[in-house]
Amino acid sequence: MPATRGEQFAGLTVALVTPFRNGDIDFAAIGKLVDWHVEQGTDCLSPVGTTGEAPTLDHDEHERVIAAVVERAAGRIKVMAGTGSNSTREAVRLTRFAKKTGADGVLLVGPYYNKPTQEGYYRHFAAVAEAVDIPIVLYNIPARTGSNITPETIARIAQLPTVVGIKEATGLLDQASQIAALCDLTILSGDDSLTLPLMSVGGRGVVSVVGNVVPRDIKALVTAFDAGKCDEALRWHRKLFPFCRDMLGVATNPIPVKTAMKLLGRDTGELRLPMCALDAASEERIRQTLVQYGLLR
């Protein structure tokens, strides 16, 4: 496998949920989740991203979650803090905070709602990179942001020395292939079900939602492929595919994964509006998915 920048973020990063209890962040539960992921062998945690319901956290809460995860991690597991925003000033502020707390890197989503031009994307990421000396992993998810960062723009952004990787969540293998051809960023899948296909065209791992539930299995897939055990990686892909489909297809992320964690006794399942709980039929579908996978009896 050719060397890429951002090798420290290859493998399994879990996009960590933010646990709530009675409307407030459950910091005790965050600590337990960090400890559990250390035990499970997760390589890196990414708090306060899409899965962490960052859009519904106020500024103080966002910072407190980053600080809590970094403190509990205590060097036992890497932390790639979500510090993206549709405001460049806010992204700079959050990234400075992550650097101050000791995060290993940051995950910067493309500005959402604004729909910048490609030049605007470049200037946004360049402003953050120039303001804060910390490894940056880009996050391109047009389904959430409203527009795509093109491979050519990503290659231009990649010339910034602190930009080391990209979470590729367009769902397009052509785009991932173009990125791999144009620059040496570490490419991480942003879609659990596409982890193996993306690794086959040069990806080095995944920023996983389903890893909140089955991190060992996701890591087994990634490790097998990295070791050249393609048949073993394909077996894991086939086992995980229907599970990933239901965890990400029943409703908007992170509703299904939080429901699964509730059913497994790992979370309250509480969400913040405008996210809301599944109806009974959809929750039963998640329950059956867990049963079929062998996680519930």
Q: Encoding tokens for residue 260?
A: 């699964």
- 113 labelled catalytic: no
Close Cβ partners of 228 (under 8 Å, ≥ 6 residues apart): none
Q: Encoding tokens for residue 181?
A: 């051809």
The torsion angles phi and psi of 138, rounded to 5 degrees, stand at -70, 155
Among the options 112, 121, 122, 139, which is catalytic? 139
Q: Dihedral sign, CA of 162, 168, 170, 175?
A: positive
- 239 labelled catalytic: no
Question: Of the candidates 154, 163, 153, which has an alpha carbon nearest to the alpha carbon of residue 132?
Answer: 163
Q: Dihedral sign, CA of 24, 141, 126, 99?
A: positive
Among the options 167, 219, 258, 293, which is catalytic? 167
What are the residue numbers of the active site?
A: 139, 167
